[in-house]
Amino acid sequence: MPKNIYFSFVGCNELDKVSILQEVEKILNIKVKVISSVKDIEFAYNPHRKQYLASEILKYAKKFVPKDKNILFLLIDKDLYEEGFNYIFGESAGNVCVVSIHRFKPCTKIDTEQEKELLKERTVKTIIHELGHSFGLPHCDDPTCVMYFSNWVGDTDHKSKYFCKKCKEKFVNYR
């Protein structure tokens, strides 16, 4: 189990950050801390795609991970991609993770409580999913498990924010 999980935000002004992190702590029974690390990700921007390359962000972020079994988790408000994919919601590279809220927004401006709650739910599920990878969990074939691969936002909406029984056992054994 990592010593600490550090969260850093690039943008994401529409997020209820405190509420999201409290939910992550509750679901995983872990403590998280907020730090200011990566402030600018423009180096990863691909003008031809009008998106940001997740693997470049993760490679850069590794130098900001506090040493000794810690995880740095970046939440950003930019559209992510990886080679071979039109877009991605997030990616894990061991001790660094990145999740974009860009495609989780039900509209261009979050106005209502219902829109805020939908953005929060999608964000929490994807955080748990990517942390699951950092803890060594693979994708799951149960479409209701948080470790199920989300091909589109409908998959994220359909799945739970919790591990299925099989994945929960693996997670507990990892800890």
In DSSP notation, 38-61 reads ----GGGEETTTTEEEHHHHHHHH
Does the active-site annotation cover 83? no
Q: What percent of the chain has pLDDT over 90?
A: 71
Q: For 136-151, what is the mean pLDDT?
A: 96
**Could you give all domains of the chain from N- to C-terminal order, each with its CATH number?**
5-137 (3.40.390.10)
- Which of these is catalytic: 91, 113, 130, 169? 130
43-102, pLDDT tens digit by residue? 999 999 999 999 999 999 998 887 777 899 999 999 999 999 999 999 999 899 999 999
Q: Are 37 and 64 in contact (CB under 8 A)?
A: yes
Q: What percent of the chain has pLDDT over 70?
A: 95
Query: In angstroms, rounded to a whole number, what is the distance separating the alpha carbons of residues 10 and 145?
Result: 28
- Considering only 36-50, 105-119, 134-148, 159-173, which range has the smallest mean pLDDT? 105-119
Q: Are 88 and 81 in contact (CB under 8 A)?
A: yes
85-140, pLDDT tens digit by residue? 999 999 999 899 999 999 998 666 677 888 888 999 999 999 999 999 999 999 99
